[in-house]
Structure 1
Amino acid sequence: MPVPVAPRRWPLLGHTPAMLTRRAGFTDALHEHGDVVRLDLGPLRAYFVTSPALTHEVLVSQGSKFRKGAMFDKFQPYLGTGLLLSNGEHHLRQRRMMQPAFHRERIQAYASTMARAASALVERWRPGEIRVIENDMQELAVTIVGEALFSAEMGERAVEEVRRSIFTVIQQGMIRALSPSFVEKLPLPGNREFDAAIARMKAVVLQVIESWRADGTDHGDVLSMLLLAQEDGVGMTDQQVYDEVLTLLTAGIETTAIALAWALYEVGLNPEIERRLHEEVDSVVGDRQVTFADVSSLTYTAQVVQETLRKYPIWFVMRRTLVEVQLGDVTLPAGTEVIVSPHALHHDPRFFPDPDRFSPNRWTPEFTASLPRGAYVPFGGGTRQCLGNTFAHTEIVITLATVATRWRLVPTRPARVKFTSAPYPDGLLMKTVPRNN
């Protein structure tokens, strides 16, 4: 059947101007035109999937018929063949070997690092300070992911280098992904900063890997698990381990930091949500440090997390068909680019009434059970579902609870959003108010 073409198409440029100027406002409305809508991104033709059912097919039921799409190709030169970018049997093998690093007993061990790091952060705050919350949350996420990856006694240099370099890698990497290939070869300051940051991180991480190889001991961190993992008697090469480390750093720091910053902002903006969160934390945690055992009891806190991940997810991901694929009434030949948008799905009023309102109360068991498959995909789905989803959820809950035991955070101005691959907070200024006042 003919596929409807999205509105606002320009000659030669296609829908790129609409994507760049209106961002999610453009893509969130595409469900009004059909379950599959054609987008022309300059010369590249893509098909935007708007329905939960077809999203589930792309990510899960027909997921083996897809590989990563065009945008991910631009990341390959510096992220290598880590889980984020690999395909086929290599991806499945790496995923199987990495899964033990994220089993429940490992998450329980990482939780103490999360609670300790969050406590250290809030203890540095002083009454009446104006904090740039996204900066605090980025610092916290670097500490938590860095220490989970590299045990403190052997990986201290690596953690320090991550703090120094990772945001240059993330920010300049996104610019490279969205720019023509020739731009990365120009002698621009951003290119020089990116290349230097990658070189520094690679050198120190490979040194740590070499030390771990010589030691051969499980230190309880993710890197130990990667180095000890084997399938059919064969482990990962140093390069494969490095690719996975860099993937975990880039995927595990920025997205969690964004979610934490937005969650704290929304709680500070809504007195009733703040009251319920504080009451639950007071009841479950009291004035002690949060533990992994508390997480399952912090049910309203988890609802705040779910709603944050609904309202502020990544914008879109791309997939490419490996074979001919049937999506509803549309037949797509091999090599077709397909776009799935968590943001559009999470803001679809057919499934999330009043989608721009932050409402943790919507997440009742009945509401969750009523959602069609594919409507809520903060961590993707199928064999490409984020391996660190439980790690991220635990980190956000523990951090929110830790802040709530000591502080109220009061926004001093409306949020500003910098929309790139996701709605990034841009200067979330919040005042620290002790809860005992």
Structure 2
Amino acid sequence: MSVPVAPGRWPVLGHTPALLRRRFGFTEGLRTHGDIVRVHLGALPMYFVTTPELTHRVLVTDSASFGKGAMFDKFRPFTGNGLVNSEGAFHLRQRRLVQPAFHHERIARYAEKMETTVSRLSASWRPGERREINEDMQALAVTIVGEALFGTEFGRPAIEEARRSIPIVIRHGMVRALSPAFVGPLLVRGNRRFGGAVHRMRAVVGEVVTGWRAAGLDRGDLLSMLLSARDEDGEPMTDQQAHDEVVTLLSAGIETSALALAWLFHEIARHPEVERRVHEEIDQVLSGRPVTADDVPKLTYLQQVVNETLRMYPIWILMRRTLRPVRLGGVGLPADTEVTISPHALHHDPRWFAEPHVFDPDRWAPERVGDIPRGAFVPFGAGNRMCVGNAFAMTEMAVTLATIASRWRLVPVPERPPRIKYTSTAYPARLSMTAVPR
């Protein structure tokens, strides 16, 4: 079976110019060419899958036949061999060591700290004050993840460096990932910024891990759990392994949550009926008291709003590599073939989501959610490589929205419309809103 080639291929550079120039528009349009479409990064062919069924096969049912792809190779200097990049038995070992940090009981304790942190932020606002919500949510996510990871001020240098360096790594890393190999050395300024950010993060996190290990104390935080964890043979993580997992958790926990929270408030402000229903539910469930982890399942409409935000603003692409010959959608792929999934394209495909560019939380109502096919909604990935912190992130978004919306309305500033940058996802580079007391 022949595989259609996406239009817009250049000599030598392949589809890289189209990918970097059109980004979401390019990958959304691939569905019109077939269930599997060939795209070239320079001379390197990639096979984009465009249906939920094939996505589920790659991420879940046939996941043992796939490893991490070229995109992750480019990020390896930053995240090392953490959960994002590790493979096979080592990945399974590390996941088992990290997983207890995100069990239900710990999530409940994290929720208390989340509510305290969000309340402190919202208490600092003044009526009529203009806020840059993207910056507020970035600072909030840094604090929440930092307190969960480190618990005390000891880890503050790592958190501050993460706030500075992670956006640089993700932005320049995506350009590197989508550029042919011969172009990489030409990206002089971007490479310099990427390398500097990697060096700073590795140094500061290394200092924190070494200091924690030397103290030998269990401070009740996530890092203490990582350093005290033992595998089935009784072996602990090495300092390097702990370092890689900390960098991975910082990267995933800060950037993804901050972006989702910023877009969450943006969309609520744009849709008065959504805002009204969110406020009504919060008032009914909480009756003026602080939100707890036990309240989150009761905030059903609020969770629909969170899911719709994650649908609208997911990561752009995920890449996998075949570990052995695979037959996918009638196409035979040899080992070492790059296979790519676009959560953004899946989430905006009208075949699975009616009017996909319309913000509609009711598509997640119990009577409608069953119509969404398995594999069409993958904000945290799926299968044995699903983001280990997905429950943490969902709780963080629910607690943040419930805490702020119980006290404030955030109103867009008309003369300062949102400014958006497109890299690995849609970044709100400016999201000006006015804080109005309820």
Give the TM-score taking structure 2 as reference length.
0.94
Residue aligning to 2:116: 116
Please, which runs of 5 or more residues in structure 2 have no aligned partner? Answer: none
Residue aligning to 1:19: 19
The 3-state SS of whatever aligns with 2:298 is: coil
Separation in 1 of the partners of 2:288 and 2:211? 40
Residue aligning to 1:143: 143
Q: Deviation digits for residues 326-351 of structure 1, max 9, x if unmatched?
A: 11211111111111011111111111
Residue aligning to 1:60: 60
1:362 to partner: Cα distance: 1.1
The AA in structure 2 aligned to 1:389 is N
Residue aligning to 1:224: 224
Conserved in 2, the CA contact under 8 Å of 1:150 and 1:159?
Answer: no
1:284 to partner: Cα distance: 1.4
1:217 to partner: Cα distance: 3.7
Separation in 2 of the partners of 1:40 and 1:198? 28
1:210 to partner: Cα distance: 2.8
Residue aligning to 2:433: 430
Separation in 2 of the partners of 1:182 and 1:338? 21
1:266 to partner: Cα distance: 0.3
**Is 1:212–2:235 an aligned residue pair?**
no
Q: Deviation digits for residues 145-198 of structure 1, max 9, x if unmatched?
A: 111100115434443444454444444444544556688778966655554544
Q: Deviation digits for residues 277-319 of structure 1, max 9, x if unmatched?
A: 0111111123332211211111111000000000110111111
Residue aligning to 2:45: 45
The AA in structure 2 aligned to 1:429 is S
Residue aligning to 2:324: 323
What are the equivalent positions in structure 2 for 1:369-384 lying under 5 Å apart?
369-384=370-385
Separation in 1 of the partners of 2:42 and 2:177? 15
Separation in 2 of the partners of 1:422 and 1:410? 24
Conserved in 2, the CA contact under 8 Å of 1:31 and 1:50?
Answer: yes
Q: Deviation digits for residues 196-240 of structure 1, max 9, x if unmatched?
A: 544443333333323332444432211111111111111110000
Greater shift, 202-211 or 24-33, is seen at 202-211
Residue aligning to 1:78: 78
Conserved in 2, the CA contact under 8 Å of 1:142 and 1:163?
Answer: yes
The AA in structure 2 aligned to 1:35 is D
Separation in 2 of the partners of 1:21 and 1:188? 19
1:10 to partner: Cα distance: 2.8
Give the root-mean-square deviation of aligned CA atoms: 2.1
Q: Deviation digits for residues 218-274 of structure 1, max 9, x if unmatched?
A: 322111111111111111100000000001111111111110010100000100000
Separation in 2 of the partners of 1:43 and 1:409? 48
Separation in 2 of the partners of 1:8 and 1:181? 19
Separation in 2 of the partners of 1:407 and 1:268? 11
The AA in structure 2 aligned to 1:370 is D
Please, which runs of 5 or more residues in structure 1 have no aligned partner? Answer: none
Residue aligning to 2:261: 260
Greater shift, 249-258 or 186-195, is seen at 186-195
Separation in 2 of the partners of 1:6 and 1:62? 25
Separation in 1 of the partners of 2:5 and 2:122? 50
Greater shift, 133-142 or 184-193, is seen at 184-193
Separation in 1 of the partners of 2:141 and 2:35? 37
Residue aligning to 1:389: 390
The 3-state SS of whatever aligns with 1:99 is: helix
Conserved in 1, the CA contact under 8 Å of 2:3 and 2:37?
Answer: yes
Separation in 2 of the partners of 1:85 and 1:168? 19
Separation in 2 of the partners of 1:359 and 1:284? 22
Conserved in 1, the CA contact under 8 Å of 2:114 and 2:144?
Answer: yes
Conserved in 2, the CA contact under 8 Å of 1:410 and 1:432?
Answer: yes
Conserved in 1, the CA contact under 8 Å of 2:304 and 2:361?
Answer: yes
Greater shift, 192-201 or 252-261, is seen at 192-201
What are the equivalent positions in structure 2 for 1:37-436 lying under 5 Å apart?
37-152=37-152, 154-178=154-178, 194-231=194-231, 232-413=233-414, 414-435=417-438
Residue identity over aligned pairs, in percent, reads: 61
Change (3 A) 1:32 1:167: closer
Separation in 2 of the partners of 1:18 and 1:168? 22
1:8 to partner: Cα distance: 2.4
Change (3 A) 1:52 1:156: same
Separation in 1 of the partners of 2:213 and 2:186? 38
Greater shift, 160-169 or 204-213, is seen at 160-169
The 3-state SS of whatever aligns with 2:352 is: coil
The AA in structure 2 aligned to 1:309 is L
Q: Deviation digits for residues 36-93 of structure 1, max 9, x if unmatched?
A: 1111222111111001000000001111111111111111122210011111111111
Change (3 A) 1:192 1:336: closer
Greater shift, 407-416 or 258-267, is seen at 407-416
Give the TM-score taking structure 1 as reference length.
0.94
1:123 to partner: Cα distance: 1.2
The 3-state SS of whatever aligns with 1:230 is: coil
The 3-state SS of whatever aligns with 2:25 is: helix
The AA in structure 1 aligned to 2:228 is L
The AA in structure 2 aligned to 1:292 is A
